[in-house]
Amino acid sequence: MIGPVFDAAALQAYLRTRIPLAAAMQLEVLAADAEAVRIGVPLAPNTNQHGTAFGGSVATLAMLTAWSLLHVRLQAAGIPNQLVIQRGCVEYERPIAGAFSARSSLRAAADWPPFVNGLRRRGKARIAVRVALEYEGATAARFDGEFVALGAGTSPRRST
């Protein structure tokens, strides 16, 4: 099911304006549709002392790419929300010594309808997203994350 193609330039502007780290990373939205979001970054602003990609930049790109997929899908569905990450895990498979990109997808496409229904009915829902980070045409890292969407007006802060 390939859905509508979303406005990659608008998503890029949103991320760079609302998340200063995205601007500092020189993030570029390469593609966005209902199935996946693909975002790339150059190495220079994301490098470590070894001249390879900084692990924090890799993790951040993964999280932003996963979040972006859910953001554009919820926006297209017309569901006001506050979307936050609950947990994430990155597995680094090989060094990244140049520009790299991330491609997000739902862990299971069948999870989307219950996620949307839960958000509409209960004002809160959780869903898993996977991201493959690529460098020179091969997977360099993988990210698995769980995100929580809260209905509009619900605070993502925990109460004590």
- Section 84-97 average pLDDT: 97
Task: Give me the pLDDT at residue 160, please.
Answer: 28
Instruction: Give CA–CA dist 104/38, Å, rounded.
Output: 7
- Section 59-68 average pLDDT: 98
CB 72 within 8 A of CB 37: yes
100-151 pLDDT, tens digit per residue, is 999 999 999 999 999 999 999 999 999 999 999 999 999 999 999 999 999 9
Q: Taking 50 as the threshold, does the pLDDT of residue 43 lie above it?
A: yes
Q: Taking 60 as the threshold, does the pLDDT of residue 65 lie above it?
A: yes
Instruction: Give CA–CA dist 141/46, Å, rounded.
Output: 15
Q: Average pLDDT of the chain? A: 93
Task: Give me the pLDDT at residue 6, please.
Answer: 86
CA atoms within 13 A on the CB side of 71: 21
Angle between helices 112-122 and 55-76 (to 10 degrees): 70
Domain chopping of the chain, boundaries: 8-81+89-108+128-144
CA-based nearest residue to 83, from 38, 130, 35, 119 = 119
**Neighbour count for residue 139 (Cβ, 10 Å):** 13
CA atoms within 13 A on the CB side of 127: 30
The CATH number that domain 8-81+89-108+128-144 falls under is: 3.10.129.10
Rg (CA), the chain: 16
Share of the chain above pLDDT 90, in %: 90
Task: Give me the pLDDT at residue 159, please.
Answer: 36
CB 103 within 8 A of CB 159: no
CB 142 within 8 A of CB 91: yes
